[in-house]
């Protein structure tokens, strides 16, 4: 199965790629887009010039170099986010002995008289939102602009995007959240093996949700959760009224260490799955009905009473299922202590599962990532897409933004 970006490259040759979708993303992230487009254009122009003179760095000494970069000059370029002032490098080409005259350098990215770069701007933001790798970025730019840059040059261009993700991970957390959901998913990274993506989603007192942060870690351990939560705490994350999670022992312990006074809710769907996985096939249907009755009780006392009846009935026939329902049961019924208007969204991890579903849908075709940075870039792009969805109150799969119109 081909990855999403490779399909996009094919679409680009036939039509404008998801123009409406890309522009929707750019409009929502207007200031961020201006910064990314400006920095990416300047880096691309410099890499194109370095490629033309045959070196990787301005100061590199080579006998066969074909020219030199001097200072730069300012140019105003019309982009998808309005007029942007960029600095374009000045190139002085050397005179070859056999020709007697120097060949003038002309940029293919932004020719001398060209002032409009809407298509190139959209391509840069596609790379930004898609988290493309070096190879795919190179193919994308070559297929449209007929430019030739080395993979090393492209990696330096992509660093602009990596820097934006780094800012996201280090930003102060000023918002105050009422509810925070935490979950994790696994992903294969070539140079690290199987890694775990930890995600934290928050909802403030006005009902607005945003992904607070994410982290790629080696395993879903108490130490990794504690380090992640400690980083969030040091950046300003105040304790919410409730943490909702899947009941992982390491996470439960880490929350007690970093946020000891905040209440916890274990997702009832995860608890059901765990109990049923330890139930024999013969009794699974009956046990499932009784679990539904427990978690649909009218109040906490009724839920506790039904749990005791469940334990008494199944303690001999389904001892493992009984052990599972007893473990952390008080955490699964915390939601009864909150207002009934928010019960449905706090008793499960469904809000953060949307992110995980979208990330999995995008990463499964790729099978694995070359390194942790390429994985981080993709996650950062998906977060930007889902942020638009959540703000608009709709849920669209990310390929909506990259379909040809």
- In percent, the amount of the chain with pLDDT more than 70 equals 65
Instruction: Give the lowest-confidence range in 90-94, 131-135, 254-258, 332-336.
Output: 131-135
Higher-confidence residue of 177 and 358: namely 177
Residue 74 has a pLDDT of 80
List the helix and strand counts (H, then E) for the chain: 16, 7
Per-residue pLDDT for 133 more than 60? no
Res. 12 pLDDT band, cuts 50 70 90: very low
Q: How far is CA 217 from CA 63, 221, 243, in A?
A: 45, 9, 20
Res. 360 pLDDT band, cuts 50 70 90: confident
> Do residues 275 and 288 touch, judged by C-beta distance below 8 A?
no
Q: How far is CA 400 from CA 116, 359, 375, 376, 396, in A?
A: 26, 14, 21, 21, 7
Q: How many CB atoms lie within 10 A of CB 350?
A: 14
**Ramachandran assignment for 146, one of left (phi > 0), alpha (psi -120 to 50 degrees), beta (any other):** left
Per-residue pLDDT for 235 more than 90? yes
Per-residue pLDDT for 57 more than 80? no
Per-residue pLDDT for 201 more than 80? yes
Per-residue pLDDT for 354 more than 50? yes
Res. 4 pLDDT band, cuts 50 70 90: very low
As a whole number, mean pLDDT of residues 240-269 equals 93
Per-residue pLDDT for 14 more than 60? no
Q: How many CB atoms lie within 10 A of CB 278?
A: 16
Which residues contact residue 319 at a Cβ distance below 8 angstroms, ignoring those fewer than 6 apart? none
Predicted confidence (pLDDT) per residue in 72-114, tens digit: 878 777 666 677 788 888 887 776 655 555 566 777 767 655 5
Residue 278 is inside which H or E element, if any? none
Q: How far is CA 89 from CA 19, 60, 116, in A?
A: 30, 17, 18
**How far is Cα 400 from Cα 20, in angstroms, rounded to an integer?**
9
Complete DSSP assignment for 14-80: TS-TTHHHHHHHHHHTHHHHHHHHHHHHHHHHHHHHHHHHT-SSTT---TT--EEEEEEEEEEEEET
* Sign of CA pseudo-dihedral 324, 325, 326, 330: positive
Residue 17 has a pLDDT of 36
Count Cβ atoms within 10 A of the Cβ of residue 221 and give its class: 0-12 exposed, 13-18 middle, 19 or more buried: middle
- In percent, the amount of the chain with pLDDT more than 90 equals 32
Higher-confidence residue of 139 and 306: namely 306
Residue 287 has a pLDDT of 93
Residue 10 has a pLDDT of 41
**How far is Cα 178 from Cα 240, in angstroms, rounded to an integer?**
5
Residue 237 has a pLDDT of 93
Res. 299 pLDDT band, cuts 50 70 90: very high
Res. 264 pLDDT band, cuts 50 70 90: very high
Per-residue pLDDT for 391 more than 60? no
């Amino acid at each position: 199965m081909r990855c999403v970006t490779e399909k996009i490259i094919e679409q680009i040759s036939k039509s404008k790629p998801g123009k409406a979708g890309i522009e929707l993303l750019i409009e929502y992230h207007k200031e961020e887009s201006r910064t990314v487009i400006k920095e990416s254009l300047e880096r691309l122009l410099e890499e194109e010039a370095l490629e033309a003179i045959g070196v990787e760095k301005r100061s590199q000494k080579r006998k066969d170099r074909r020219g030199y970069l001097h200072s730069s000059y300012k140019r105003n370029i019309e982009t998808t986010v309005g007029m942007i002032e960029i600095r374009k490098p000045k190139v002085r080409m050397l005179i070859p002995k056999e020709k007697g005259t120097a060949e003038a350098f002309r940029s293919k990215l932004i020719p001398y008289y060209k002032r409009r770069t809407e298509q190139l701007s959209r391509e840069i933001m596609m790379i930004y939102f898609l988290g493309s790798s070096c190879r795919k970025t190179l193919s994308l730019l070559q297929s449209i602009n007929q430019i030739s840059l080395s993979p090393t040059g492209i990696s330096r261009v992509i660093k602009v995007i990596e820097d934006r993700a780094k800012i996201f991970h280090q930003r102060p957390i000023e918002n105050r959240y009422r509810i925070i959901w935490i979950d994790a998913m696994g992903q294969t990274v070539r140079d690290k093996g199987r890694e775990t993506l930890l995600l934290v989603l928050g909802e403030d007192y006005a009902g607005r949700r945003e992904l607070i942060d994410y982290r790629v870690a080696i395993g879903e351990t108490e130490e990794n959760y504690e380090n992640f939560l400690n980083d969030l705490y040091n950046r300003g994350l105040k304790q919410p009224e409730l943490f909702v999670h899947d009941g992982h022992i390491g996470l439960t312990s880490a929350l007690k260490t970093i946020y000891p006074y905040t209440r916890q809710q274990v997702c009832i769907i995860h608890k059901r799955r765990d109990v049923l996985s330890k139930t024999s096939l013969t009794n699974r249907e009956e046990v499932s009905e009784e679990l539904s009755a427990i978690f649909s009780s009218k109040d906490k006392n009724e839920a506790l009473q039904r749990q005791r009846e469940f334990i008494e009935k199944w303690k001999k026939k389904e001892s493992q299922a009984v052990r599972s329902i007893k473990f952390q049961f008080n955490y699964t019924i915390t939601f009864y202590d909150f207002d009934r208007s928010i019960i449905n969204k706090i008793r499960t991890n469904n809000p953060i599962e949307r992110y995980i579903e979208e990330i999995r849908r995008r990463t499964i075709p790729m099978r694995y990532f070359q390194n942790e940075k390429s994985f981080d870039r993709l996650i950062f792009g998906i977060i930007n897409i889902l942020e638009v969805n959540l703000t608009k109150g709709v849920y669209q799969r990310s390929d909506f933004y990259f379909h040809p119109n």
